């Protein structure tokens, strides 16, 4: 008997020591453990963007010297860190959506763990599993909310991409326009320098006065000043494009040849409804409000809050008696004092608001597309008419210039003035093409189109 009591005492002490050790270890891990984060990536260790990897290009070798507008937009999107952050936010939201709407894990409950004396073993033990029951439709509502939030992140990224692409396009348009304008002004400067020289010679012959020479020099000075201003703007625009592209190189942009649209206004408006992220945001917010309204309505219904099956054992060694039994416990939420009417109505009103907002956004998009389309159409028709009307005039004028030696009786400065007027027409053509290109960019923005193939394939 003494040996049996001694063994029981040793067993009880050993169990208590193990319990203390386990508790101490858990406290130590919970309170003292500090994870070491991975090293922060430097600029050299950041991997290339998905678009660059898909094209087989690294960041340092991704940019050519001469580039067109479409490739500029594509490569700028591939090199922008903000878009990469948006893309990561979308992935995070998608991962959260995958874990949403899952049944909660049960809770293992251990209680009534006791002994009558510190030197004896455990005499009482209760083990149970508690599980919270989801309400009707709660899991589906959680999935809808998480999915809608992921769609909101996607819409935020798409909205930034469209605005970013529009900025890159307008920068490319300015670079191509300014480069052409500088070429024209170089020819103007050459012509005005020739005119100054001619007037100076004519003054020596008594055919002109110093007033004519001063006027010619002032015109030359203003032309040079305008050329310098254009060169400064071109340098600034190239620096802006280099910033978009993530490089210090100054790029040469090839202008886009404008083409007529083969879609009607109604088709373009339908395309905008699919592409514009504002409508997706309104639909996602509506989905969130609907799901939240269902969750609030479910709180007004009596429902089982938890279910807990358990097992209980009591051991009395003195009487050699053991009691074992099982229990089933559950709780019920009783919405007696709060029927949740205010929050239910608030979410219903929020749903109605988002539905109305979606209609407002749709009407606003239709107006924006109509305005942008009409502006582009009028400019395209005006440019086409101007090009046709000026083509014959330019052809005749250039024929006269090429045969200027036959007009010996004509004052040579008039030939220079004719050349300057031809250059003025070319300058007007360049300005009209710039206006049309900007109108096309505005139309792309209204349609939510990032690349030209997005417009042609649909």
Confidence at residue 369, expressed as pLDDT on a 0 to 100 scale: 97
C-alpha closest to that of 454 among 317, 250, 271, 190: 271
Please provide the average confidence, as pLDDT, over all residues in the chain. 83
Residue 271 has pLDDT above 50, yes or no: yes
pLDDT in tens, 343-376: 999 999 999 999 999 999 999 999 999 999 999 9
* pLDDT at residue number 191: 92
Question: What integer is the mean pLDDT of 302-322?
Answer: 78
The residue extents of the domains of the chain are: 65-400+407-456
| Residue 131 to residue 329: CA distance in whole angstroms | 10
The 10s digit of each residue's pLDDT in 155-195 is 999 999 999 999 999 999 999 999 999 999 999 999 999 99
Q: State the Rg of the chain over Cα.
A: 39
Only one residue has tokens 């090199």, namely: 79
- Looking at the DSSP bridge assignments, the partners of residue 307 are 131, 330
- CA atoms within 13 A of residue 270's CA, in its CB half-sphere: 6
pLDDT value of position 114: 66
Q: What is the 8-class DSSP label of residue 111?
A: E
pLDDT value at 267 more than 80: yes
- Separation of alpha carbons 335 and 40, rounded Å: 51
Which tens digits make up the pLDDT trace of 50-105?
544 444 444 434 456 788 888 899 989 988 889 999 999 999 999 999 999 988 89
State the pLDDT at residue 58. 43
DSSP-derived letter for residue 450 is S
Q: How confident is the model at residue 398 (pLDDT cuts 50, 70, 90)?
A: confident
> How far apart are the C-alpha atoms of 307 and 169, rounded to whole Å?
61
Instruction: Compute CA distances 263 → 27, 364, 370, 383, 449, whole Å.
Output: 69, 20, 13, 20, 14
Q: Which fold has domain 65-400+407-456?
A: Outer membrane efflux proteins (OEP) (1.20.1600)
At 103-143, the pLDDT tens digits run 889 999 887 766 655 555 556 788 899 998 888 888 999 99
pLDDT at 274: 92
Name, in order, each residue with C-beta under 8 angstroms of 47's C-beta and a sequence gap of 6 or more: 53
pLDDT at 54: 44
């Amino acid at each position: 008997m003494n040996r049996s009591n001694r063994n029981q005492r040793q067993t009880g002490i050993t169990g208590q020591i193990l319990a203390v050790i386990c508790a101490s270890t858990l406290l130590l891990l919970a309170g003292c453990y500090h994870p070491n984060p991975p090293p922060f990536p430097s600029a050299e260790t950041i991997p290339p963007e998905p678009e660059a990897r898909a094209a087989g290009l690294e960041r340092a070798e991704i940019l050519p010297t001469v580039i067109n507008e479409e490739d500029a937009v594509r490569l700028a999107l591939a090199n922008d860190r903000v878009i990469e952050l948006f893309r990561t936010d979308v992935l995070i939201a998608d991962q959260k959506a995958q874990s949403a709407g899952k049944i909660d894990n049960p809770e293992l409950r251990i209680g009534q763990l006791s002994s009558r004396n510190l030197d004896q073993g455990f005499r009482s033990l209760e083990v149970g599993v508690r599980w919270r029951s989801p309400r009707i439709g709660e899991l589906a509502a959680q999935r809808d909310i998480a999915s809608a939030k992921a769609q909101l992140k996607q819409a935020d990224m798409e909205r930034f991409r469209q605005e970013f692409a529009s900025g890159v396009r307008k920068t490319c348009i300015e670079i191509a326009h300014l480069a052409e304008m500088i070429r024209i002004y170089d020819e103007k400067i050459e012509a005005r320098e020739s005119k100054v020289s001619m007037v100076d010679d004519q003054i020596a012959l008594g055919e002109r006065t110093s007033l004519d020479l001063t006027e010619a020099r002032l015109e030359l000075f203003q032309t040079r000043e305008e050329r310098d201003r254009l060169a400064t703007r071109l340098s600034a625009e190239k620096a802006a494009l280099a910033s978009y592209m993530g490089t210090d190189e100054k790029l040469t942009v090839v202008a886009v040849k404008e083409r007529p649209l083969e879609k009607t206004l109604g088709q373009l408006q339908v395309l905008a409804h699919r592409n514009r992220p504002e409508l997706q945001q309104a639909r996602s917010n509506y989905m969130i409000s609907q799901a939240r309204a269902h969750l609030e309505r479910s709180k007004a219904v009596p429902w089982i809050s938890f279910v807990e099956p358990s097992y209980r054992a009591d051991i009395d060694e003195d009487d050699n008696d053991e009691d074992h039994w099982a229990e089933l416990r559950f709780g019920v939420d009783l919405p007696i004092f709060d029927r949740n009417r205010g929050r239910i109505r608030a979410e219903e009103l929020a749903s109605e608001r988002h539905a109305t907002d979606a209609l407002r956004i749709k009407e606003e998009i239709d107006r924006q597309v109509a305005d942008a389309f009409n502006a582009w159409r009028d400019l395209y028709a005006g440019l086409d008419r101007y090009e046709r009307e000026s083509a014959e005039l330019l052809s005749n004028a250039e024929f006269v210039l090429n045969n200027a030696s036959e007009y010996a009786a004509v004052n040579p400065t008039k030939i220079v003035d004719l050349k300057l007027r031809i250059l003025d027409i070319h300058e007007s053509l360049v300005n009209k093409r710039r206006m049309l290109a900007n109108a096309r960019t505005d139309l792309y923005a209204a349609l939510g189109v990032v690349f030209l193939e997005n417009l042609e394939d649909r």
